[in-house]
Copies of this chain bind each other. A is one copy, B any other.
């Protein structure tokens, strides 16, 4: 029997069957009253997992598209932004900003570490010309969660726009944009929101909207003024990914049922259990400030990461992610993001124990799952 495979990858994530059923509904037309009702409803209800009172704009694209929309709508060529670069997705902000002719001041962070808000504050003050700060909620390349609340605190009162890529991390790690002073949140469908990839999201504060009016950067598909204007009529300017909107409505019901604090708490508990499990197996965690969406582990010296993940995939049906770019071969990434429960954690830790043994490591089978269960179920062994 071919093994059913479960995704423990940091996007796309495993999709609940209920969502898969919803996206296979026959289409409705994107100018019909039925569509208008659906679209208006999901936009209103999305404010809850986004924890914002700002309108949510829905784009048909990958998350990177919404990042480009943020840059091209908020800044003009020659304007200066500070990018917190702690990994691949921080660097993506730099790439997009430079493509649109912005002046980028890099704030480099060692891989696996986060930016110290006070140090960012000093860098911004010293520079004096920064118009926006671009960062990442969950940097999935290192498994790190930035201190968004701390950054918001030091930026409060300044005219600098605070823009957070929460493609990874939304509905996973705690994020309260309105309370924390985040102006723009970017996200996408295929991570905490448990949908297939294809939708991206943006929310903008009122002062971010003022910038949109002033930007001279070229944009058409990404012109957020069009999305706002059509949105007021419960429409999209271009034909949207209707099937995914069917799924989004179901996702919102799942999140509302659990409550967003409940969603965050579940991820926190599962992440803690996973980390305990890894430590019990003698594995070393990579990030200093780990996201609750994934656990990133250093590959022990002498172990072939390709072989480890290959064994996990073919022998145990669990798909983990490799390190990317300079972290290739140095780490593996185990995501517990979105549709994840206790049993999924035990399954993957158990598989990891067996795979490590199979590859010749002296692992006490049961130690990792036991430690995770201790935390999850409060069992004293």
Contact = CB atoms under 8 A, between A and B. Distances in A.
Interface of A: 5, 7, 9, 11-12, 14-15, 20-21, 23-32, 60-65, 67-68, 72, 77, 95-96, 99-101, 188, 190, 196-198, 217-221, 223, 237-244, 319, 321
Nearest to A69: B221
A198 B60 contact: yes
Contacts of A65: 60-61, 65, 221, 238
Given A23-B243, A196-B241, 5 more contacts: A12-B27, A23-B24, A95-B220, A197-B239, A217-B218
Contact of A27 (B7, B29, B72, B218): B7
A341 B217 CA distance: 46
Given A12-B29, A30-B12, A218-B217, A241 B100 contact: no
B30 A239 contact: no
A293 to B, nearest CB: 15
16 contacts: A9-B29, A12-B27, A15-B27, A21-B24, A29-B319, A31-B321, A60-B61, A67-B221, A72-B218, A99-B218, A99-B219, A188-B239, A197-B240, A198-B244, A218-B218, A241-B244
Contacts of A239: 11-12, 62-63, 188, 190, 197
Given A27-B14, A61-B60, A100 B218 contact: yes
A220 B26 contact: no
A220 B60 contact: no
Contacts of A67: 221
A64 B220 contact: yes
Contacts of A196: 27, 241-243
Given A60-B61, A239-B11, A319-B32, A100 B220 contact: yes
A231 to B, nearest CB: 15
Nearest to A65: B221
A230 to B, nearest CB: 12
Contact of A241 (B5, B101, B241): B241
B7 A218 contact: no
A197 B372 CA distance: 42
A14 B27 CA distance: 7
Contacts of A15: 26-27
B198 A62 contact: no
Contacts of A242: 12, 196-197
Contacts of A12: 27, 29-30, 239, 242
A32 B8 CA distance: 13
A240 B197 CA distance: 6
Contacts of A30: 12, 197
Nearest to A217: B218
A101 B218 contact: yes
A77 B339 CA distance: 46
Contact of A99 (B29, B99, B220): B220
Nearest to A244: B198
Contacts of A5: 28
A197 B100 contact: no
Contacts of A101: 218
A244 B61 CA distance: 13
B26 A99 contact: no
A158 B14 CA distance: 51
A271 to B, nearest CB: 20
